[in-house]
Structure 1
Amino acid sequence: MKVLVTGGAGFIGSHIVDLLLQKGHRPVVVDNLSTGEEEYLQGDIPFYRMNVQDEEIIRVFEKERPEAVIHQAAQSQVPCSIEDPIWDAKTNILGTIRLLEGCRKYGVGKFIYASSAAVYGNPQYLPIDEQHPVSPLSPYGISKLTPESYIRTYGELYGLSYTIFRYANVYGIRQVPHGEGAVISIFIDRLLRGESLTIFGDGEQTRDYIYVEDIARANLAALEKGEGQTMNIGTGVSTSLNDLVKILEGIRGEKIDVEYGPERAGDIKHSYFCIDRAKEILNWAPRTGLEEGLRRTLEHYGRNR
């Protein structure tokens, strides 16, 4: 199957491309390289350096005629969305609409969209399931939620098959140490620089951390399953920042210096997913535990500073 992957040279997208190649598919990549690296792309993969919001994106559909689109490209930094909500909306909302138009005009069979836990806002109950009310706390959360409605509408109007994923906190190899949910990458970057870690608040705030290769497997499963579904993709496990530090200390075999700062206004205290729907519909489950995923990531960057 020929699959267009937006953000395919980036953190999550490049792992999806790797897995597509392993499974015998033919990936095509669109990426503006704002955070991605062309060197992540192995083999002779058609590559287009452009923003998804560019009008010329339609030419990629015209030339390549993909059978499916896996849409990973996004503006993913909450502070940037607050400082420049127009750019955030152009990338995340307008960019998605341009891709949907390409799907409509050139008969794409499946559209897979990477949404975010940010659409939920402050949890009203835990674990968060897909019926949980959506109430974003930032322009970023709004700009990830809005395309979900466009995708469903294109499904109803034009028969476009789709799957929407709401990701928990993704971590792993190739993640840049900034952006939404990048605390593990930030911690590892500071550790390898010999710097102390900074935690805002008491460190008891919790998140659901999922390894990037498990995210890639969910996307490939959605090529054949999950029609018309919106699904949480995480581990269903709640981990505090203090516990995260303890796991890192165990892997490194040494005490880690942590500085605690004032709690940041607007930070969500606790969040983790219910992933029963993804397990049932996709026949998928996360395979990489947090300690194993952290070990792989630390070892990789220890070798490739």
Structure 2
Amino acid sequence: MKVLVTGGAGFIGSHIVDQLLENGNQPIVLDNLSTGEETHLKDGIPFYRMNVQDEAIDWVFREEKPDVVIHQAAQSQVTQSVENPMMDAQTNILGTIRLLEACRCHGVKKIIYASSAAVYGNPEYLPIDEDHPISPLSPYGISKLTPETYIKVYAELYGLSYTILRYANVYGIRQVAHGEGAVISIFIDRLLRNQPLTIFGDGEQTRDYIYVEDIARANIAALEHGDGETLNLGTGVSTSLNDLVKVMGEIYGGKVEVKHALERSGDIRFSCFCVDRAKTVLGWSPCTELEEGLRWTMEYCRKKMDGVCL
């Protein structure tokens, strides 16, 4: 199966590409390298450096004729979406429409779309399931939700199959140490540089942290399953920042200095996903324990900082 992965040289996308190869599929990568690295890709993979909103995408589809599209490319920083909502919408909304038009015109069978926990806003109950009310708090949340509606309409109008995957807080190797939702990567980077960690508020706020390879496996499962479904991807485990720092300190094995700053307005206090539907529909489940994933990630970051070729 030929699978075009937008953002395929990036953090999550490159892991999806790796697993596509392992499962005997033929990945094609489209990435503007704003956060991705071409070195993440194995030799021989067709690679196109461009933005998802570029008109040239139509040419890529005409040349490569993908069967399925896995759409990972996005503007993913909440603060940037607030500062520049127009740019955020151009990438996340208009870019997705451009992609959907290419799918329609070139006979793509299915699109798998990476959505976000940001579409839910402040939780009314925990764990958050797919029936939870939708109330995004930022332009980013809106720009991740709007393509969901476009995708469903394209399914109705043109018969394009889809699976929408809403991600919890994804972490793991190849994640850049900046941006929203990258707290683990940021903390590891600061630990390895012997710099203090900053916690906003009391540190009791919780998130659902899922390892990147578990996210990639769900995308692979969605190639064959989950048509017409919207699914949460997380672990179902709630972890506070204080507990996260404790586990990271044990793995690091050195002194961890923590500084507290004022709680940021607009931050969600508690968040955790219910993933029962994804388990049932995809035949998938997260299998990486937090400590194990943190250990792999820290070792990767340590080697990269030491200049080891990875």
The residue type paired with residue 225 of structure 1 is H
Specify the alignment match of 1:190 in structure 2.
Answer: 190
Give the deviation of 1:301 after TM superposition: 1.2
Aligned equivalent of 1:166: 166
Q: Which moved more, 1:252-261 or 1:89-98?
A: 252-261
Q: Deviations over 1:183-205 (max 9, x none)?
A: 00110111111101000000000
Q: How far is the alpha carbon of 1:180 from its aligned partner?
A: 2.2
Tell me how far apart the structure 1 counterparts of residues 113 and 64 of structure 2 sit (CA, whole Å): 19
Distance 1:184 1:252 in 2: 13
Shift of 1:125: 0.3
Q: 1:138-157 maps to which residues of 2 (within 5 A)?
A: 138-157=138-157
Q: Which residue of 2 aligns with 1:302?
A: 302
Q: How many residues align?
A: 305
Aligned to 1:136: 136
Question: Could you tell me which amino acid in structure 1 is paired with residue 34 of structure 2?
Answer: S
**Per-residue deviation, residues 100-135 of structure 1 (Å, max 9, x unmatched):** 111111110110000000000000000000000110
Q: Which residue of 1 aligns with 2:308?
A: none
User: What secondary structure, in the 3-state scheme, does the structure 1 residue paired with 2:215 have?
Assistant: helix
**Residue 245 (structure 1) aligns with:** 245
Residue type of the partner of 1:46? P
What CA distance in whole angstroms lies between the structure 1 residues aligned with 2:180 and 2:56?
A: 28
The residue type equivalent to 1:105 in the other structure is C
Deviation beyond 3 Å, 4+ runs, structure 1: none
Q: Amino acid of the residue matched to residue 160 of structure 2?
A: L
Supply the distance in 1 between the matched residues of 2:58 and 2:122 (Cα, whole angstroms): 37
Q: Distance in 2 between matches of 1:286 and 1:43?
A: 29
* Secondary structure in 1 matching 2:181: coil
Structure 2 residue 61 is the aligned partner of structure 1 residue 64: no
Q: What's the CA shift string for 1:17-38, capped at 9, x where partnerless?
A: 0110111110000000000000
Secondary structure, aligned partner of 2:195: coil
Partner of 2:203: 203
2:286 is equivalent to residue 292 of structure 1: no
2:106 equivalent to 1:106: yes
CA distance in 2, matches of 1:95, 1:151: 12
What runs of 5+ residues in structure 1 fail to find an aligned partner? none
**One-letter code aligned to 1:99:** L
Give the aligned partner of residue 50 of structure 1.
50
Task: Give secondary structure in 2 for the equivalent of 1:112.
Answer: strand
1:213 matches 2:213: yes
Q: Which residue of 2 aligns with 1:181?
A: 181
**Residue identity (%):** 73
